[in-house]
Structure 1
Amino acid sequence: MDTHYLLHDDVYRKLIKDKNAVGWDKTPAAYEKMERRLKLIFDLCDMPTRGRVLELGCGAGNISLCLEKQGYEVTGIDISPTAIAWATNKCLDAGGTTRFFVDNVLDMHFAEDEYFDIVLDGHCLHCIIGDDRRDFFSESWRVLKPGGRLLIDTMCGPVIGNQLSSYDPKTQCLISDGIATRYFGLPEEIEKEVVDSGLNITMAIREPDLPHSTIIFVADKSFA
């Protein structure tokens, strides 16, 4: 399947021109809801309350900057230069210390081995298609400390009916102009990807919604 991950930059270039937009999800209310949800997940999963956090697909930096306020040392990466410039400016305006990098989650050049206590999927995984997903998990495993945690928060199938008009059931992807943009694996398929990467799942939460669901996995990197 063909992919074009830099298409996200086209979206961010449009969003940044909208003076009312604060990120991919546009409104402050949307991010306030996301922050409350993330705090609940962190509490349920007994996440470390301090340490180094890496957000994969950080976009305009809203969640990364929220985590900094909670006391974490945060790094955010995104493939979109426009998103990273937006996030960096927000951080400077707020007097924050979060580091933002343009980088590829499939091959993170900036990141040291076993550096982060938490790696957070910023709704990035469902944008990663096919064999690239193995690289996503391999890189996440590499940068996690022994005992560190990966939090996956991703769309999943089954997709119900014809409510996503560009959904292709054969590939389980949204296809736009021949480009695969989203993957809706079944929960058990995504669980296998996590386990095959060498991580141990400690919690799974499925959130039903139409026309698809969301699955949350928290996984530990075992001590060698």
Structure 2
Amino acid sequence: MRTVEELLDLLDGLFERDAGEARWDRFYADRARPVPFFAAKPDENLVARLPDLPRGRALDLGCGPGRNAVHLARAGFEVDAVDLSPSAVDWARERAHEAGADVRFHVGDVFTATPDGPYDLVYDSGLFHHLPPHRRISYLALLDRVLAPGGHFGLVAFAAGEMGSQRPDADLYRTPALDGGLAYTAESLRVVFADFEEVELRRMNDEPADSPHYGEPFLWTALFRR
């Protein structure tokens, strides 16, 4: 082993059953499953903040079936969207076509399949909390590479005490498992993204079933500026 990337790849192997392509492809293959975020609804926080953000290039990391990517495109952004699961991207392409939204979808690991920036907005709804701790290094490097100076970064992630694993990072390597995703406190998110200016960090609103927007209070929603 001679490089940092080789070390990160080795550590990835400990969590392969939790984070591999096959797992997520199975997850998205059954579209009839009663999963709330399968619905074609954009995040409530994204809808609320978009009027304040200048239009430009947007990147949706871990786009899933495309609900936020489609909304961004219809709101006037030039959108790229990346997901590891071919099944998710196939579904997202269908939704974009039905909505008349122009989105460039990319299948693959976000660390290798993401196009070059700069992007004025990078948005992540549910990817970050499925990354093992060592990949926070790669995630910050990705943001550094693709987010334009003055650009915005939006995040939705599990809130500690509500959803996801609260095991310390070191314990995750003693018994390798992501336990369905990692939970974060507000302070831990501020530490990870300390190099960014915080615009907003709050719990996501609890949206009723008949709302046109997605919202669950067990999630943090954050907006940062580079």
Call closer, same or farther: CA 1:189–1:110 in 2, change over 3 Å: closer
Looking at structure 1, the residues matched to 36 and 87 of structure 2 have their Cα atoms a distance apart, in angstroms, of: 12
Call closer, same or farther: CA 1:25–1:213 in 2, change over 3 Å: closer
Deviation at 1:123, TM superposition (A): 1.7
**1:167·1:173 contact (CA, 8 Å) conserved in 2?**
no
Q: Hey, what does 2:148 align to over in structure 1?
A: 145
- Counterpart residue type for residue 159 of structure 2: C
Q: 2:167 aligns with which of 166, 169, 173?
A: 169
| Higher percent of residues as helix | 2
Looking at structure 2, the residues matched to 70 and 101 of structure 1 have their Cα atoms a distance apart, in angstroms, of: 20
**1:134·1:193 contact (CA, 8 Å) conserved in 2?**
no
Q: CA RMSD in A?
A: 3.1
Q: Hey, what does 2:108 align to over in structure 1?
A: 103
**1:57·1:77 contact (CA, 8 Å) conserved in 2?**
yes
- Counterpart residue type for residue 58 of structure 1: C
Larger RCO, structures 1/2 (Cα 8 Å, 6+ apart): 2
**1:173·1:182 contact (CA, 8 Å) conserved in 2?**
no
- Report the TM-score, using the length of structure 2 for normalisation: 0.74
Does 2:136 align with 1:128?
A: no
Call closer, same or farther: CA 1:75–1:173 in 2, change over 3 Å: farther
Call closer, same or farther: CA 1:111–1:26 in 2, change over 3 Å: closer
Looking at structure 1, the residues matched to 128 and 168 of structure 2 have their Cα atoms a distance apart, in angstroms, of: 19
Looking at structure 1, the residues matched to 219 and 44 of structure 2 have their Cα atoms a distance apart, in angstroms, of: 16
Q: Hey, what does 2:49 align to over in structure 1?
A: 41
Q: 2:29 aligns with which of 13, 17, 20?
A: 13
Deviation at 1:203, TM superposition (A): 2.4
What is the identity percentage for the equivalent residue pairs of Structure 1 and Structure 2?
Answer: 23
3-state DSSP of counterpart to 1:169 = coil
Looking at structure 2, the residues matched to 74 and 40 of structure 1 have their Cα atoms a distance apart, in angstroms, of: 19
Q: Deviations over 1:95-136 (max 9, x none)?
A: 43210001222x134411x42100001221111121112211
**1:72-91 alignment runs, 5 A limit:** 72-91=77-96
**2:82·2:114 contact (CA, 8 Å) conserved in 1?**
no
Call closer, same or farther: CA 1:36–1:208 in 2, change over 3 Å: closer
- Mean Cα deviation higher: 51-60 or 132-141: 132-141
**2:70·2:103 contact (CA, 8 Å) conserved in 1?**
yes
Equivalenced residues, count: 198
Looking at structure 2, the residues matched to 40 and 208 of structure 1 have their Cα atoms a distance apart, in angstroms, of: 11
Call closer, same or farther: CA 1:208–1:192 in 2, change over 3 Å: farther
Deviation at 1:189, TM superposition (A): 1.1
Deviation at 1:178, TM superposition (A): 5.6
| Higher percent of residues as strand | 1
- Report the TM-score, using the length of structure 1 for normalisation: 0.75
Q: Which ranges in structure 1 are unaligned for 5 or more consecutive residues?
A: none
Q: Which ranges in structure 2 are unaligned for 5 or more consecutive residues?
A: 1-10, 207-216
Call closer, same or farther: CA 1:97–1:153 in 2, change over 3 Å: same
